[in-house]
Amino acid sequence: MPEDELPEVEPMPESVPEAEPEAVPLAPVPRQERIAAMDVLRGIAVLGIFLINMPLYVGPMAAFFNWENNPYWTSTPDRLATLFVYIFAQGKFYTLFSFLFGLGFGVQFQRAAERHSPDFLSTYRRRLLVLLVIGLLHFTLIWWGDVLHVYALLGFALLQFRQRADKTLLIWAAGLTLVPLTLATMGTTFEHFTKKEPTAEEQKKDAERKAKRAKDLIETVRVYSSGTVPEIMKDRLQADLRHLGGEVGWATELFANFLLGLWAARRRILHEPENFRPLLTRLAWIALPLGLLITAGDLMWGYQHPGADAPLWRTHLGLVREFIGRPAVAYGYAAVLLLIGVRRWMTPFAAVGRMALTNYLIHSLVFTTIANSYGWGMYGKVHPVTGLKWCFAFYAVQLPFSMLWLKYFKQGPVEYVWRRLTYKAA
């Protein structure tokens, strides 16, 4: 249209007040808005956590990975099965799951901000409170190894970081990893160089402690395999108290992963992995094999030298395995998946991931019942190699079960209760 034929336009007013964005109440994430890679990773993490928890469902912790004084699992297949679990799974999938927890928080916070939802804090606090109750019930009534209550309590601390700068998140995550590593390294070094030969009295006391641990181990197996329900509850509560005592150190590690997950959500690493190929490639091809090498080297030394006093280098290697090797492997696993990309054949894993809470609690319910005297009384009788087979077989059933359930329902049964109590909606 020629310039002289332009239609007349009424002049705009000098200032136009901007319309207030309409606030949208918080609600569960619709299926079409879910991050597929996140569900797949969570589903795989459920299997990894299952591999670690299985020996603890069906036997005492002290009976596993104790090459020196283990009266139960001494065969080569059992020890190889234990090594497999510890090298490829121990700690790696709790690391991955806690990372996904922080990432999920970041996604929810961003989504609430985009929709100008005014009730994010109150809703998320309610969400954490419900998770805390579920975790405490699991912790006290079913199994001492619950992790949900720790996640819920740390979630309240994570709320304080929701608006902190990315750099701050990374500094805190690094500090929570490197400060404990440095202090532990200094402490073990000092202890090594100041250690004196034990006196006859100290040797006697050490022998008495070992004898007591062996006796306690036998009593624990008796209680859970053939004891009364009150005996089991008493021992479980004592185990709960012991577990609580060790949660502070573990919590710092989990919280570092929460912060890294929040950072990854802001950077949209799982949303747009193609933009982070250099980082993901380094994690997959350098961090993952190096972490596995460190883990295998440390554990194989203990396997080949049971009962021997560890040299200083091996003590330090063990610390590096715990603080550096473990997250290196966990994030390496995630990087491999993101480099491959979510494929159609991964759909069953995503279904397990969407029902992660339900599937996790099913593991505890089923296998503590199998192990304890009020069920099949198998406690202390399930060898590591058998437990490993059970894990893969049971998980293989959970894959189609989760898909079938989600065909008819929007979420798992425990997730449904969690949602109802969080959002006060059906």
Above 80 in pLDDT, residue 286?
yes
- Phi/psi of residue 100, nearest 5 degrees: -65, -30
User: What residue spans of 321-426 are helical by DSSP H?
Assistant: 326-340, 347-354, 356-371, 384-408, 413-423
pLDDT tens for each residue of 314-369:
889 989 999 999 999 999 999 999 999 999 999 999 999 999 999 999 999 999 99
DSSP secondary structure string for all residues of 61-79: GGGSS-SSS-SS--SHHHH
For residue 48, the enclosing domain spans: 36-195+230-423
Length of the chain: 426
| Rounded-to-integer distance, Cα 341 and Cα 272, Å | 11
Above 80 in pLDDT, residue 70?
no
The answer to whether residue 412 sits within a structural domain is: yes
| Rounded-to-integer distance, Cα 210 and Cα 67, Å | 14
The answer to whether residue 10 sits within a structural domain is: no
pLDDT at 304: 72
**Residues 6+ away with beta carbon under 8 Å from 54:** 363, 367, 387, 388, 390, 391
pLDDT at 11: 39
Above 70 in pLDDT, residue 19?
no
For the full predicted model, state whether its pTM sits above 0.95: no
| Rounded-to-integer distance, Cα 68 and Cα 307, Å | 5
The answer to whether residue 122 sits within a structural domain is: yes
Contact by Cβ (8 Å): 142, 121: no
Output b/e per residue, 373-402; b: 16+ Cβ within 10 A. Answer: beeeebbbebbbbbbbebbeebbeebbebb
Query: For 305, which DSSP code?
Result: S
pLDDT tens for each residue of 79-114:
889 889 999 999 999 999 999 999 999 999 998 888
Band (pLDDT 50/70/90 cuts) for residue 46 is very high
- Tally the domains of the chain: 1
Q: What angle do CA 360, 145, 104 make, to 5 degrees?
A: 50
| Rounded-to-integer distance, Cα 414 and Cα 26, Å | 20
Phi/psi zone of residue 199: left (φ > 0), alpha (ψ -120 to 50 degrees), beta? beta
Above 80 in pLDDT, residue 73?
no
Above 80 in pLDDT, residue 18?
no
Contact by Cβ (8 Å): 188, 323: no
Q: Where is 168: in which H helix or E strand?
A: helix 166-194
Q: Where are the beta strands (DSSP E) in 61-180?
A: none
Q: What angle do CA 37, 43, 46 make, to 5 degrees?
A: 140
| Rounded-to-integer distance, Cα 409 and Cα 262, Å | 29
The answer to whether residue 300 sits within a structural domain is: yes
| Rounded-to-integer distance, Cα 258 and Cα 106, Å | 9
26-to-18, 21, 109, 110, 262 alpha-carbon distances in Å: 24, 15, 10, 12, 19
| Rounded-to-integer distance, Cα 43 and Cα 49, Å | 10
Provide the percentage of residues in the chain whose pLDDT is more than 90. Answer: 64
The answer to whether residue 15 sits within a structural domain is: no
Above 90 in pLDDT, residue 192?
no
The answer to whether residue 2 sits within a structural domain is: no
Tokens standing for 244?
Answer: 């609580």
Tokens standing for 382?
Answer: 């399930």
Provide the percentage of residues in the chain whose pLDDT is more than 70. Answer: 89
Max CA separation in the chain (angstroms): 109
pLDDT at 325: 94
Contact by Cβ (8 Å): 198, 206: yes
pLDDT at 29: 54
| Rounded-to-integer distance, Cα 249 and Cα 88, Å | 22
pLDDT tens for each residue of 114-168:
877 778 899 999 999 999 999 999 999 999 889 999 999 999 999 999 999 999 9
Among 319, 258, 299, 326, which residue's Cα sits nearest to residue 81?
Answer: 299
pLDDT at 314: 87
Q: Where are the beta strands (DSSP E) in 157-256?
A: none
Tokens standing for 304?
Answer: 């080949």
| Rounded-to-integer distance, Cα 124 and Cα 335, Å | 29
Above 70 in pLDDT, residue 31?
no
| Rounded-to-integer distance, Cα 330 and Cα 334, Å | 7
The answer to whether residue 222 sits within a structural domain is: no
Above 80 in pLDDT, residue 22?
no
The answer to whether residue 57 sits within a structural domain is: yes
**Residues 6+ away with beta carbon under 8 Å from 102:** 158, 257, 258, 259, 260, 261, 262, 264, 265
Based on its alpha-carbon atoms, the radius of gyration of the chain, rounded to whole angstroms, reads 25
Above 50 in pLDDT, residue 4?
no
What is the average pLDDT score of the chain? Answer: 87
